[in-house]
Amino acid sequence: MPCETSQSNTSSCMKATFLVLCVILCFMSIALYSNTTVNWKVLNSLIENGRSIISNPLASFNQNHTDHEINISSNETKSTSPTRRFAIFACSIHATTLAYSFYAPITAAAWKRVGYEAIVVFVGDFTLPNILTSRLNLSRSYLKHVGAYIIDVQCNKSYAIKLSQLIRVFSGFLPDSIVHDDDDVLTGDSDLMPLRSSEYQPTKGTDGFIFNAFCCGSFQRRGKSYRMFPS
C-alpha cells in the first residue's frame, strides 16, 4: 500500500508539472506572437540602412542610388492602387553573354506594358576598376528611362553568375521603400519577355499564379528537342 500511495503521488506531481509547463508555453507563444510586427519592422529597418542580419552577399543591397534606382518617386508614393505588381530578374555584370544585360531594359518595358513594375538586380564585384562598361551603363540608363528599379548586389566575381540566378527568390528581403507586404512579386529572367497581358492578370479572390509547365509542347532545333514553358 505505501508503494501504491507513493506512485500515485508521483503521477499527480508529474501531471501538475506538465499542466504548469503547458500554461507557461501558452503565455510565451502569445508574447512572441504579439511581438512579431515589431520584429519585422526592425528587420526592414536594418535592410533599409544597409545593415543586414543575414549572411553576405544576399543582403548587400547597395542603397546609394539616385533617381529611380531605389527611391520611389513622389508620384508612386501617392499611388492609391490597393495591390502593386512587380517582376524581378537579375543579371551578372561579369557575364560573357552580353544578351542578358542588353535585353534587361526591353524586358522591363515589356513587363510595364502588362501592368508590372520591374526590379532589376545587377550582381558582381563593383569595386573592380572600370567594371561598369559603356554597354552596362547604357542598359542601366534605359532601365531608368522605363522606370525600373535598379539594385546592385556586391559579391565576388567567381560566383556572381550563380548568385544572379538565385538572388530572385530572396525578393522577400527587399526594403519596403520598394515593395510592401501586400504587393505581388513575380520572378522572371532578363531574356524572358511577357507577351499576352491576360496571362498575368490575377483572378479575383486568388493570391498568385499556377502555371502548367507541360502546356506548350516542344520544338526541334539543330537536331535536339526543347520543351517550351509558359512565359
Write the burial class of residue 87 (CB in 10 Å: 0-12 exposed, 13-18 middle, 19+ buried): buried
Within the chain, strands assigned E span 85-92, 117-124, 149-154, 184-187, 218-221, 224-227
Sites in the chain below the pLDDT cut of 70: 1-11, 15, 18, 25-82, 230-231
For residue 124, the model assigns a pLDDT of 93
| pLDDT of amino acid 142 | 94
- Residue that has been written with the C-alpha cell 498575368 in this structure: 200
The DSSP 8-state label assigned to residue 203 in this structure reads P
Counting every residue written for the chain, the total comes to 231
Residue type, 203: T
What integer pLDDT is reported at residue 59 of this predicted model?
40
- Give me the phi and psi of 117, to 5 degrees please: -80, 145
pLDDT of residue 230: 67
pLDDT score, position 23: 74
pLDDT for 226 equals 86
| CA separation for the pair 39, 41 (Å, rounded) | 5
Tell me, what DSSP letter sits at residue 187?
E
The model's pTM = 0.59
